[in-house]
Amino acid sequence: MAPSAHHPVRRRTLLGAALAASAAIALAAAPAQAAIWSSSDQWGNYTTSDGYTLYNNIWGSGAGSQSIWANSSSNWGVWANHPNTGGIKSYPNAKKVVNKPLSSLSSLTSSYNVTVPSSGAYNTSYDIWDSDYDYEVMLWVNYNGAVGPLGTSQGNVTLGGHTWTVYKGNNGANEVFSFLRTSDSTSGTVNILPILKWIKDTKGWWGNETIGDVQFGYEITSSSGGLDFRTNSFKVSSS
């Protein structure tokens, strides 16, 4: 699998022209205390001691500069300077692989705490994939600016401890089910399993898929002038 773990098929086709390197990123993007890992590479990635993988993941056309840093899976962040134009530029994220059939999961939860800017256009989201990358489930916990989900609205549903507006669509490579929280949150816990079972058992949109990646990060459309996105804590638990 390519380092661009978000939308793997589609995003491999969007490499296009190479992004210009920016020597100014390193100082601007560094956390207050030097991190144990950082990268401004388009596909920069790092695996933590507890089995998470961090990706810089600059995949969209017209992107600017971006640098990711990490001290651990639960303490990492991104500095991004993407122009004020439409279209998603990147999805820097931390990923945990579950690799269990939906029917064999008894629990799948995640907690998060983030600090996000008040300007720019982005969403903070989970991106959950089946192991074959045929289906994508996005859970938007907060969003800002001119951003919106793919597909058409299916109405509201209360699942996993929160109320979501649900969208169903297709990006040409895979089905996409997007759940947007009706109230923004920068911290909390999401019970993911009831959401995945609702897709299967209530809607019949997929079968007994094997759940692969559980990603969490920032889908950035614009961050002109340079903005900081910080993950203060993050954890995925499954059994």
In a domain, 140, yes or no: yes
Where in the sequence is the domain holding 181, given as residue range(s)?
Answer: 8-238
For residue 130, the model assigns a pLDDT of 98
CA 162, CA 158: separation in Å to the nearest integer?
A: 6
CA 76, CA 93: separation in Å to the nearest integer?
A: 9
Angle of CA points 69, 176, 183, to nearest 5°? 70
For residue 33, the model assigns a pLDDT of 56
For residue 34, the model assigns a pLDDT of 75
Burial of 23: CB neighbours in 10 Å, binned 0-12, 13-18, 19+: exposed
For residue 29, the model assigns a pLDDT of 46
For residue 27, the model assigns a pLDDT of 37
List the structure tokens of 80: 């991004």
Counted domains in the chain: 1
In a domain, 67, yes or no: yes
- CATH code, domain carrying 160: 2.60.120.180
CA 20, CA 31: separation in Å to the nearest integer?
A: 23
In a domain, 3, yes or no: no
For residue 140, the model assigns a pLDDT of 98
Residue 189's DSSP bridge partners are 111
Are 76 and 54 in contact, with CB atoms under 8 Å apart?
Answer: yes
For residue 31, the model assigns a pLDDT of 53
In a domain, 99, yes or no: yes
In a domain, 58, yes or no: yes
Q: For each successive 10 residues of the chain (239 residues), what is the average pLDDT? A: 42 37 40 81 97 98 98 98 97 98 98 98 98 98 97 97 96 97 97 98 97 98 98 98
pTM of the model: 0.87
For residue 23, the model assigns a pLDDT of 36
Are 126 and 99 in contact, with CB atoms under 8 Å apart?
Answer: no
In a domain, 2, yes or no: no
In a domain, 79, yes or no: yes
CA 41, CA 48: separation in Å to the nearest integer?
A: 18
In a domain, 138, yes or no: yes
* Gap between the terminal Cα atoms of the chain: 25
CA 104, CA 49: separation in Å to the nearest integer?
A: 26
